[in-house]
Structure 1
Amino acid sequence: MPSPFEQRILDKLGTERDPEARALLRVELACYWARVGEEHSAEQERQALRHEFANARSPRVSILVMVLEALQAYYGRLDPAARDRLLRANLLSKSFNALDLIALTSAWLAHVDLNQARFDSAVRELHTAIQALAQLSDGVESVRCRIALTLGDANLIVGRVQASQEWYESARLDAIAINDHAGVGAMTYNRAALRVARARFEDVAGLDSGIDRTLLRIDVDTAVNYQSAARLKSLEHLLATTRASQLVYQHKYSDALPVIEALLGTPAVTSRSAQRRLLQADLALALASVGKTAEANRALLQFVTPEADDLPIPSDDAAVMARSAALAFALTGAPDEAQVWHERANRACHDHSLVCESLGSQLQEFRPMRPGQSA
């Protein structure tokens, strides 16, 4: 059964006869499918649109197909190539001075850049998206929702908990207004994941921004339940990673172990990613904490491979995984290695504090948008 968002587009397709207008509706629908994890449907539509508009007779369709391809890459496998497609779509949008497409592509670029720890770039794209949005009056809810969601995430990353709540509420209202279950799902997941991540970082750094840590399990449960009720598939492995992180943070190592082991055995967790590195460190800590010393040592050997140091790891993740490794080494009777990783955790905490100071000052320029406002 189609979701309300899908049904709205299908109803329009039932009456629309113009080929280009129909194509624009079809690509909007395919973008939704990419966001909710309906990969086969999204890919079928992408191929059909590429075939029908191969001669670039509609710049708008071509640009939005690039956005679709970016979302497929991002939601399907967190592929860094998603950013390249968005950049190209953004440049083409600017060349045609298509304000709605500039707002859309810049909002998505900001979202991807934030998640790749390209914070200065994310802020620039947010400004671009908001400036373009201010000149529009119709159909702004989807872009405004994406901007608000990204700013909710950004504020939570730096520990501005109250500000993040205001932005998430703005995103929620716009998502509900257009029946965008994927948007609400992203908000519930991001809020849960980033609250757990921030709580773990603050535990390492000795900080407290006011996150109610007793409610973290409820945050994760809410996200999991919403994804299930709305039949959203694209965030499943990320939700499981958040669950594992929450369990490790709350020292429920026996419960965390099967979740971590299952995740490390799935191709969704790619071999060269911060997600895998954090899971490997947490696996070693969980094994050591339940007395499985030999298995913990094997997990640590996998974690400390030399090539792993070449990976770009966000500073908060680096602090958390270094602390897990340090504790695991200490529990397995390797105090010298434990000290090395404690020092790495401290350096990462310092680096992330500088990031938070810089990004936090830039975020103060933004004020939450409410339905009825264009920016």
Structure 2
Amino acid sequence: MKAPRSRLLARLDAALAVTRDPVAAACLRAERAGFLVRLGHFEQAEHELQALRAHAARQPSAALNAWLCMADGWQLHFSRLGAGARDQMKRAQALSAAAGLTPLHALASAWVAHMDYTADDIDGMVRNVALALRLAAPDHHSARSRACMVVASAFDFAERLDRAQPWYARAREHATADGDETTLSALNYNISAQRVHHAAQAAVFGGDALDQSRQAMAASEMAGNFDDWIGLVSLDALVPMQLATMASLQDRFDEALALYDKHLADAQKQGLERLTANYLADIAWCRWNVGDHHGAHRDATAAAASIDTGMHLDDRATAHGRLGMLFKALGEEDAAMRHAAKGRECWDAHRKFQAQVLQAVEAAQLRP
């Protein structure tokens, strides 16, 4: 495995070299192990975390326990986008609050806000991001970079890129000041992911899908190149899946199918099972466009069976909408009408949810 390029890792190593307090040293070790988790160096991190858990059992420390909860949350999130990560972050938040550990409380709150956002808990997201920004000192870069990225993502989700850009810029400034390459990577990925989603939605529900897909492709390629440069290997199937979607939208169907074939199984293992219906629908669309109508019907049927109410509204809308287009091309009018109607229903609900997100974030009057 390639050695990671990291200013943050070097800074933590330097701090460890001069720290004499055993508790402070253990917390630094936990923070370092958590950063290795975020890079995807899971085995190396787990060896250190096991030693720290034993240390915490012998010499209990609220600070160390909170850091271990953070590391466990990162382990769940960066290995497979596990839903349990949110509970671990909430534990870290509660422990640090109870012990009066304000910097750690701010950092944990920012990460809870991140998990709230991914769970569509907008009230929780706004509450926790506001708390993180209130608690974090101006130079608490790790808490502020994460909090700013959450707000940027919320505005971008609501299709207010003009409002998102100042928050993205502040998140990048703080992450750069912190030497935190994993947050810079996350910023690249989140920006490209938003472009990918909006491009895919435009292809189904109307808009300039080609222009948006070109922007998304450039952002995805940049994200992948940056991850390679810093040696990040966690969630390494996510960017290739973006590239597959963009290739499909640009009518490069054979290329899209090759990427899906290579990376779909890993993406599902890394937490993207919730998008299986979308991927299968797009694979079916690609197959139909290269003349494999039997394969297109097979994968479309599998995609339809994979749609469930646990999916995000916009993902359900896009999956149904694409299947409506595909079944129409296959000459199955009843299925086409059914999916098209369901897609429009989900899309209308998604648009209402976007408005709710925008209203909630604006009402909080947050400042980067």
Q: Which runs of 4+ in 1 moved over 3 A?
A: 202-209, 211-214, 267-272, 308-311, 365-368
Tell me which residue corresponds to 1:83: 86
Tell me which residue corresponds to 2:339: 341
Tell me which residue corresponds to 1:192: 192
Q: What SS class does the counterpart of residue 236 from structure 1 fall into?
A: coil
**Structure 1 segment 100-119 matched on structure 2, within 5 A:** 100-119=103-122
**Aligned pair in 2 of structure 1 residues 341, 56: CA closer, same or farther (>3 Å)?**
farther
Tell me which residue corresponds to 2:315: 317
Tell me which residue corresponds to 1:181: 181
**Structure 1 segment 4-153 matched on structure 2, within 5 A:** 4-55=7-58, 57-133=60-136, 136=137, 140-153=140-153
Mean Cα deviation higher: 357-366 or 190-199: 357-366
What is the TM-score with the length of structure 2 in the denominator? 0.92
**Aligned pair in 2 of structure 1 residues 37, 314: CA closer, same or farther (>3 Å)?**
same
Q: Distance in 1 between matches of 2:256 and 2:35?
A: 32
Q: Distance in 2 between matches of 1:271 and 1:83?
A: 14
5+ residue gaps in structure 1? 370-375
Return the letter of the residue paired with 1:100.
P
Q: What SS class does the counterpart of residue 237 from structure 2 fall into?
A: helix
Residue 271 of structure 1: how far off its partner (Å): 8.5
Q: Distance in 2 between matches of 1:142 and 1:100?
A: 10
CA contact (8 A) 1:289 1:328 kept: no
Q: Distance in 2 between matches of 1:302 and 1:186?
A: 31
Q: Residue by residue, what CA displacement relative to the aligned partner does 1:241-274 show, whole Å, maximum 9, x if unpaired?
A: 2112222222322211111122233375368832
CA contact (8 A) 1:318 1:348 kept: yes
Q: Distance in 1 between matches of 2:233 and 2:46?
A: 15
- Say whether 1:229 aligns with 2:229: yes
**Aligned pair in 2 of structure 1 residues 83, 231: CA closer, same or farther (>3 Å)?**
same
Mean Cα deviation higher: 88-97 or 158-167: 88-97
CA contact (8 A) 2:317 2:344 kept: yes
Q: Distance in 1 between matches of 2:254 and 2:53?
A: 49
5+ residue gaps in structure 2? none
Tell me which residue corresponds to 2:171: 171
Q: Residue by residue, what CA displacement relative to the aligned partner does 1:21-56 show, whole Å, maximum 9, x if unpaired?
A: 111111111111111111112211111110111146
Mean Cα deviation higher: 216-225 or 349-358: 216-225
Mean Cα deviation higher: 8-17 or 67-76: 8-17
Q: Distance in 1 between matches of 2:271 and 2:334?
A: 28
Q: Residue by residue, what CA displacement relative to the aligned partner does 1:264-300 show, whole Å, maximum 9, x if unpaired?
A: 3337536883222221111111111211111112212
**Aligned pair in 2 of structure 1 residues 71, 352: CA closer, same or farther (>3 Å)?**
same
Q: Distance in 2 between matches of 1:287 and 1:213?
A: 20
Return the letter of the residue paired with 2:198.
R
**Aligned pair in 2 of structure 1 residues 56, 293: CA closer, same or farther (>3 Å)?**
farther
**Aligned pair in 2 of structure 1 residues 55, 208: CA closer, same or farther (>3 Å)?**
farther
Return the letter of the residue paired with 2:157.
I
Tell me which residue corresponds to 2:324: 326
CA contact (8 A) 1:33 1:42 kept: yes
Q: Distance in 2 between matches of 1:271 and 1:28?
A: 24
Residue 187 of structure 1: how far off its partner (Å): 0.6
**Aligned pair in 2 of structure 1 residues 319, 56: CA closer, same or farther (>3 Å)?**
farther
Identity %: 26
CA contact (8 A) 2:49 2:68 kept: yes
Return the letter of the residue paired with 1:333.
G
- Say whether 1:297 aligns with 2:297: yes
Query: How many corresponding residue pairs?
Result: 363
Mean Cα deviation higher: 321-330 or 168-177: 321-330
Residue 159 of structure 1: how far off its partner (Å): 0.1
CA contact (8 A) 1:261 1:283 kept: no
Q: Distance in 1 between matches of 2:367 and 2:154?
A: 13
CA contact (8 A) 2:195 2:215 kept: no
What is the TM-score with the length of structure 1 in the denominator? 0.91
CA contact (8 A) 2:227 2:233 kept: yes
Return the letter of the residue paired with 1:345.
G
Return the letter of the residue paired with 2:31.
E
Mean Cα deviation higher: 158-167 or 275-284: 275-284
Return the letter of the residue paired with 1:122.
M
Residue 98 of structure 1: how far off its partner (Å): 2.5
Instruction: Answer 1 or 2: which has greater helix percent.
Output: 2
Tell me which residue corresponds to 1:249: 249
- Say whether 1:284 aligns with 2:284: yes
CA contact (8 A) 1:289 1:331 kept: no
Name the Cα RMSD after superposition.
Answer: 2.1
Q: Residue by residue, what CA displacement relative to the aligned partner does 1:81-125 show, whole Å, maximum 9, x if unpaired?
A: 111111222222222232222211111011112122222221121
Q: Distance in 2 between matches of 1:366 and 1:335?
A: 48
Return the letter of the residue paired with 2:324.
A
CA contact (8 A) 2:82 2:271 kept: no
Q: Distance in 1 between matches of 2:271 and 2:219?
A: 28
Q: Distance in 1 between matches of 2:263 and 2:333?
A: 29
CA contact (8 A) 1:204 1:349 kept: no
CA contact (8 A) 1:166 1:368 kept: no
Residue 311 of structure 1: how far off its partner (Å): 4.8
Tell me which residue corresponds to 1:373: none
